[in-house]
Structure 1
Amino acid sequence: MFKVKAKRALLTATAIVLTGLLSTTTYLWLKKDKLIPDNAQTQADELRWDDLIPDNFQPSENPLLSLSREERDKLFNGSEESIQKLAAIEEQLNYSPVVPELNGKRVKIPGYIVPLEFDEQTELTEFLLVPYFGACIHTPPPPANQIVFARSKTSLQIDSKYDPVWVVGTMRTQT
């Protein structure tokens, strides 16, 4: 359960989805997974995490899977050529475009907190909002367009990072 210092407070935060830099000024309502009716929240379009991925986007297949053992060994031999090839492969695998139509839209999206900046592990000012529990900590991170960076203007008091929260705000996209 997440607690907010001020009773029934709506907290302001700034969020940026990493790579593709999807940014938003947001309001956080931290009360388990319930959305308490509020004028600011009811005027926002509810998003699912899939809504942050362009409809026509097809992630690249991992090119390392099709290489022979010899080709993989050559790719990881530390030469300048192999370093450049690995960088190109990494860029290809990390490509996560954003949905430009979300720019300027008022949205709300649920997710789980991954604390970044916190005081004694109870008050946080920066966190990642991710689509599933344990992302970036216990499991591999989701694609970059599925990670929201949030910075709160005031400290958020948390008792548990296991409960989902809602982030509400105006989405800004950049590529």
Structure 2
Amino acid sequence: MRATLLALLAFIPAYAATAQTPITWTDLIDPIAQVYEDPFRELGYEQLEKLRIIAKAQQRLEDDVSATKTRDEIEARLNAAEASLAEQGIDAHNLLSQRWAVAERRKRAAVSGNAALNGKLVVLTGYAIPAPPTDDGTPVAYLVPERGMCSHTPPPKPNQMVRVMIKGDWQPTTMHEPVQLTGRLSLSDTTHDIQVVDGLVPMRAAYEMEATGALTTQDMQDTAGSRQENTWAAAIVERLHVSGQLPQKEIGETN
């Protein structure tokens, strides 16, 4: 424990002295790619459901359903859905003609990373997921913004996932281990199938980080509880306490 504390205290002045940029997960998103026209955003559930009925009916009719009765039923559903939307001032055919272009814009918005962070030395806090090492033995992890992602819930968007190449002594020992990483970011779109709780998961990350520093919750708790003046570490620990990620120590409790 003393060795861990000394290593952490040695790291803190370096943090203050070097040009490291603390960032949040929203900073990773490309702001330019988020600005696009999406007419579907303003539609409610029932309106979107009507569009789905129309699209499905059109596809079935194009597939040449031979039975006249079946075609009549499909056309009746299609006409009813179109009429319902038209009464609300919605041109179903115009909207459906845009759906593939909008889908491509949404995909680009989910994948695109922030070019302003490419090559930057940053500090980012998240949850680490262990991953197999590279072919040359470099330890690897994935950093995500929320606990449970990629196991009990789907993976986040690619620009909300960082593939971490670990250069220091730290490695995650548990799934979704809270950690604050320091390292250099690079825009690098990668996809790897990783074994997690519920089986193989395709981990697509828009970023890679070469992590040279790591602070775990235990490191931060030790530092905040020491006699050293370190408001930065104390603030981080307080946020973890509030979020429930780090239990409060009782007065007089020791490690």
TM-score range, shorter chain: 0.5 to 0.7
Q: Which moved more, 1:133-142 or 1:38-47?
A: 38-47
TM-score (ref. length: structure 2):
0.40
Name the structure 2 match of 1:15.
Answer: none
Structure 2 residues not aligned, in runs of 5+: 64-97, 190-255
Contact persistence 1:125–1:154 (CA under 8 A): no
Find the aligned partners of 1:149 and 1:158 in 2 and give their Cα distance.
Answer: 13
Q: 1:68 aligns with which of 34, 52, 62?
A: 52
Find the aligned partners of 2:121 and 2:167 in 1 and give their Cα distance.
Answer: 19
Q: Is structure 2 residue 88 aligned with structure 1 residue 114?
A: no
Name the structure 1 match of 2:178.
Answer: 164
Name the structure 1 match of 2:252.
Answer: none
SS in 2 for 1:145: helix
Count of aligned pairs between the two proteins: 134
Aligned counterparts, 1:146-157, within 5 A:
146-152=160-166, 157=171
Find the aligned partners of 1:140 and 1:60 in 2 and give their Cα distance.
Answer: 26
Q: 1:48 aligns with which of 24, 31, 56?
A: 24
Quick check: which one's helix share is greater? 2
Contact persistence 1:111–1:132 (CA under 8 A): yes
Find the aligned partners of 2:121 and 2:175 in 1 and give their Cα distance.
Answer: 25
- How much has 1:149 moved relative to structure 2? 0.9
Find the aligned partners of 2:167 and 2:181 in 1 and give their Cα distance.
Answer: 14
Quick check: which one's strand share is greater? 1
- How much has 1:55 moved relative to structure 2? 3.5
Task: Calculate the aligned-residue CA RMSD, in Å.
Answer: 4.1
Q: Rg larger in 1 or in 2?
A: 2
Find the aligned partners of 1:62 and 1:75 in 2 and give their Cα distance.
Answer: 22
Name the structure 2 match of 1:145.
Answer: 159
Tell me which amino acid in the other structure corresponds to 2:15: Q
Q: Taking every aligned residue pair, what percent have the same amino acid on both sides?
A: 27
Taking CA–CA contacts closer than 8 Å with sequence separation of 6 or more, which of the two structures ends up with the larger relative contact order?
Answer: 1
Aligned counterparts, 1:3-42, within 5 A:
8=4, 38=11, 39-42=13-16
SS in 2 for 1:132: coil
